[in-house]
Amino acid sequence: MEIPENGPGIEPVKFTTNSKFTFNCHKGVACFTKCCRGINIILTPYDIVRLKNCLGLSSGEFLAIYTVPRILEKTDLPVVTLKLMDDELTSCPFVRDDGCLVYKDRPTTCRYYPLGVASLSHKENIEEEGFYFFVNEPHCLGFEEDTEWTVAKWRKDQGVDIHDEINSGWTDLIVRKRSFPANVKLTEKTKKMFFTTCYDIDQFRTFVFESSFLSLYQTDDETINEIKQDEVALLEFGFRWLKWILYKIGDFKINQEAAGRRQKQEK
């Protein structure tokens, strides 16, 4: 299930949502679970929310146990990848002989497979939205099966459309940063803020509700109630806030009085 760093595993053929392919994956294939070893999976923010809830962990615990932080070279933005086992095959920690332990909450990349999606691969040459390609791994025998799909049908069947919708604010942050000149670097503080907001939802919640955040940013009661009760709403609120912080796009308004008080305290 790897999205290779360079060309060999990728056929850079552009698929759109109407493109057709023939494929099937089930427990009867001789290669069952082979794609869950030696993998490189970038986790999306919504992947982390689902996985940590599935495992009954806080986001901080999940990140510490199951992920490796990385910096995307072109954008200088933090991402996290799934930490592989230290076994001979560098297996995914969730793979078992009879399949995926977290199947109902499996990451976006696993859902897309055997397709790769440009917006998730973070490659310079394939960053266009709606660009799909085959992750062509020789061990995958699913292409010998005869079930016909379109990309759109596959996305719906795998439940990946909802993942993409929720993650769209995060994808947008990364795509925008790509268009900045390479020498525009983020401060460590900004990178940390991006990391917490996108990947460590429990810490972000603490930041929003237990710091001066809500007195500094004018936030209506409806939004406050929503983000208090709904983790996905909090995540999407975080994406909007980062968009405002990084690109000054959006409708966040500073409470000038609170900002003044804060400035005084900092002096």
Binding site for ligand SF4 (CB under 6 A): 1, 25, 29, 31-36, 39, 92, 94-95, 100, 102, 106-107, 110, 113-114, 139-142
Residue closer to ligand SF4 by CB (options 84, 173) is: 84
Rounded Cα distance between 241 and 245, Å, is: 6
Smallest distance, ligand SF4 to C-beta of residue 56, A: 16
- Least distance in angstroms from the C-beta of 176 to ligand SF4: 28
- Output 164 or 236, the one with its CB closest to ligand SF4: 164
Tokens of 90: 């560098």
Number of Cβ within a 10 Å radius of residue 151: 19
Q: What single letter denotes the amino acid at residue 55?
A: L
CB of 163 to ligand SF4, least distance (A): 13
DSSP, collapsed to helix, strand or coil, labels residue 257 as: helix
Tell me whether residue 1 or residue 227 sits nearer to ligand SF4 (CB atom).
1
Q: Which two tokens stand for residue 203?
A: 């810490």
- Between 78 and 142, CB nearer to ligand SF4: 142
Minimal distance, residue 240 CB to ligand SF4, in Å: 29
Rank residues 143 and 217 by Cβ distance to ligand SF4 and give the closer one.
143
Cβ 28 to ligand SF4 shortest distance, Å? 10
SS3 per-residue string spanning 25-62: CCCCCCCCCHHHECCCCEECHHHHHHHHHHHCCCHHHH
Contact criterion met (CB below 8 Å) for 202 and 60: yes
